[in-house]
């Protein structure tokens, strides 16, 4: 076994176990912290694929911003005590069915997708540095990139509008 394989196995074990712990732990704060560890190990997977930019972006966006806001809300809401709402049986059944469907779709995708690793080990080309990424993003994928940024902007403005207090007594 090569070192990279060992690291991959360890990372995968951490990812899976923390992902399950996120779902199963009773305390919402613990759950959020497990999710943080899960995100860290996923960043590790990106690093194994030699994509530094993606890894660090994943860290900044998910662990650095989103999960902190999550933790924030959980801490302020004080969900320490177990006050779960009992869900009706039909909802649970629906959840299980949709989970199975997604699993089937994902498995089919993974089976049918072409492995590209074999091709890119040998070319020795630089696929990952930010220079290359920037060129690719702003030349070939210019339009989708701009669309994504507009989508984010719209989402941001929408969030601001939603959270703004409506003026009463007009």
Rounded to 5 degrees, φ, ψ at 73 are -65, -40
Whichever of 106 and 148 has its CB closer to other proteins, that residue is 148
Which of 65, 101, 107, 159 forms a contact with other proteins (CB under 8 A)? 65
Give yes or no for a contact between 67 and 39, defined as CB atoms under 8 angstroms apart. yes
36 part of the interface to other proteins, by CB under 8 A: yes
Instruction: Give the whole-angstrom CA distance, residue 29 versus residue 44.
Output: 23
By CB under 8 A, which span of 11-19, 62-70, 104-112, 114-122 interacts with other proteins? 62-70
Burial 154-166 (b: 16+ CB within 10 A, else e): eeeeeeeeeeeee
In the region spanning residues 80 to 119, those forming contacts with other proteins, defined by CB under 8 A, are none
Q: Name the site residues for other proteins (rule: CB under 8 A).
A: 29, 33, 36, 52-53, 56-57, 59-60, 63-65, 68-69, 71-72, 75-76, 129-131
């Amino acid at each position: 076994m090569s070192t990279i394989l060992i690291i991959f196995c360890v990372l995968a074990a951490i990812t899976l176990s923390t992902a399950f712990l996120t779902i199963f732990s009773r305390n919402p704060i613990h759950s959020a912290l497990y999710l943080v560890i899960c995100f860290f190990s996923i960043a590790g997977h990106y690093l194994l694929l030699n994509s530094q930019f993606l890894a660090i972006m994943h860290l900044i966006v998910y662990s650095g911003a989103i999960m902190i806001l999550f933790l924030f809300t959980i801490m302020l809401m004080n969900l320490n005590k177990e006050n779960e709402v009992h869900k009706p049986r039909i909802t649970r059944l629906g959840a299980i069915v949709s989970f199975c469907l997604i699993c089937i779709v994902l498995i089919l995708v993974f089976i049918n997708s072409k492995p590209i690793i074999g091709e890119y080990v040998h070319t020795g080309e630089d696929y990952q540095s930010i220079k290359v990424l920037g060129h690719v993003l702003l030349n070939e994928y210019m339009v989708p990139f701009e669309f994504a940024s507009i989508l984010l902007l719209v989402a941001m403005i929408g969030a601001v509008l939603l959270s703004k207090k409506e003026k009463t007594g007009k």
